[in-house]
């Protein structure tokens, strides 16, 4: 079964890379994310230094704060690995995911800059090993990357990209559960969680519109998002 999966995946990807348009779209998408990822630690370092507002969140006011880092970590990365394993069989679906992820990331970096917030009261630091290693760098803890929630956005993407009804149902339950756990840990305001649904779905809709366009159009739009990202990084460094 594993051999069959590997063979089918190999031939699909070989066929996909024989298409110049697909290749340049995918390479551009990966390059934009990789370059941006190298700049994340510096950006968050500056974001962490600035002062923001503390919101009066009626939901958090009634929720006692607890450390639920372990179930958060298990839910998000367990399902993320599963989803990636599933979509790797389909190069076009993987490209759509990559476009969605990059656009969502640009939206998130932009909204974090535009809406400076201090962390909620009674915050319990969320220990996310992957985020600490790959995104935050040595800047620990980062508590002001709030609007909107990246963890919730990832769960929404998982729901969007799994295809079978049972997978969709499990992903929906897991997304609701993870959003609730984030609030229990007081690492996000309610609006951060709600905003993730809107911006992730918007990113998906944009990606759907451009994924099948001529490569020059898709790449041009993605370079536009890259320009926005670099502008946000530059403005963020002024704090």
Tokens found for residue 120? 């909620």
Q: Establish how many alpha carbons lie within 13 A of residue 201's alpha carbon, considering only the half-sphere containing its beta carbon.
A: 6
The whole-number pLDDT of residue 10 equals 87
Mean per-residue pLDDT for 233-237? 94
Confidence of residue 4 (pLDDT cuts 50, 70, 90): low
Can you give the pLDDT at residue 5?
A: 58
Answer left, alpha or beta for residue 56, where phi above 0 means left and psi between -120 and 50 means alpha.
beta
Phi, psi dihedrals of residue 116, rounded to the nearest 5°: -65, 125
Tell me how far apart the alpha carbons of residues 37 and 43 are, in angstroms, rounded to a whole number.
10
The torsion region of residue 186 among left (phi > 0), alpha (psi -120 to 50) and beta comes to left
What's the whole-number mean pLDDT along residues 82-104? 97
Number of folded domains that form the chain: 1
Contacts of residue 194, defined as CB under 8 A and 6 or more positions apart, other chains included, come to none
Burial classification of residue 132, based on how many CB atoms lie within 10 Å of its CB (0-12 exposed, 13-18 middle, 19 or more buried): middle
- Domain of 39 in residue numbering reads as 2-236
Greater model confidence, 131 or 54: 54
Query: Tokens representing 1?
Result: 């079964």
Give the 3-state DSSP-derived string for 15-66, with helices as H, strands as E and coil as C: HHHCCHHHHHHHHHHHHHHHHHHHHHHHHHHHHHHCCCECCCCHHHHCCCCC
User: Stretch 212-218: mean pLDDT, rounded?
Assistant: 97
pLDDT on residue 133? 61
Note the pTM of the prediction, 2 decimals.
0.94
Distance CA 55, CA 187 (A): 13
Average pLDDT of the chain is 93
Q: Is the pLDDT of residue 88 over 90?
A: yes
Residue 174 three-state SS: helix
In percent, the amount of the chain with pLDDT more than 70 equals: 91
Contact between 161 and 93 (Cβ < 8 Å): yes
What confidence category does residue 34 fall into, taking pLDDT thresholds of 50, 70 and 90?
very high
Long-range interactions of 220-229: CB distance < 8 A, separation 24+: 222/25, 222/28, 222/29, 222/32, 222/99, 222/102, 223/28, 223/32, 225/32, 225/102, 225/103, 225/106, 226/32, 226/35, 226/36, 226/106, 228/106, 228/110, 229/32, 229/36, 229/105, 229/106, 229/109, 229/110
Assigned token pair, 214: 């001529």
User: For 201-210, how does the pLDDT look when each residue is reduced to its tens digit (9 = 90+)?
Assistant: 999 999 999 9
Task: Quote the pLDDT of residue 3.
Answer: 56
Q: Cβ contacts of residue 227 below 8 Å, gap of 6+? A: none
pLDDT tens figures, 19-31: 999 999 999 999 9
């Amino acid at each position: 079964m594993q051999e069959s999966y590997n063979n089918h995946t190999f031939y699909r990807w070989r066929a996909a890379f024989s298409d110049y348009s697909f290749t340049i779209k995918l390479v551009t998408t990966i390059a934009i994310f990789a370059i941006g990822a190298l700049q994340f630690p510096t950006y968050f370092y500056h974001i962490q230094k600035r002062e923001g507002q503390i919101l009066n969140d009626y939901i958090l006011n009634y929720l006692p704060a607890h450390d639920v880092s372990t179930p958060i970590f298990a839910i998000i990365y367990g399902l993320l690995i599963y989803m990636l394993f599933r979509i790797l069989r389909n190069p076009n679906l993987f490209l759509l995911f990559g476009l969605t992820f990059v656009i969502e990331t640009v939206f998130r970096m932009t909204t974090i800059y535009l809406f400076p917030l201090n962390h909620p009261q009674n915050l319990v630091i969320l220990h996310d090993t992957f985020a600490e290693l790959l995104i935050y760098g040595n800047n620990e803890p980062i508590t002001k990357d709030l609007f909107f929630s990246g963890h919730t956005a990832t769960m929404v993407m998982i729901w969007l990209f799994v295809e079978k009804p049972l997978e969709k149902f499990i992903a929906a339950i897991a997304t609701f559960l993870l959003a609730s756990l984030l609030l229990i840990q007081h690492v996000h305001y309610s609006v951060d969680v709600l905003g993730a649904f809107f911006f992730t779905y918007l990113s998906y809709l944009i990606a759907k519109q451009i994924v099948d366009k001529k490569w020059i159009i898709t790449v041009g739009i993605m370079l536009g998002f890259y320009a926005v990202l670099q502008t946000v990084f530059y403005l963020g460094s002024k704090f």
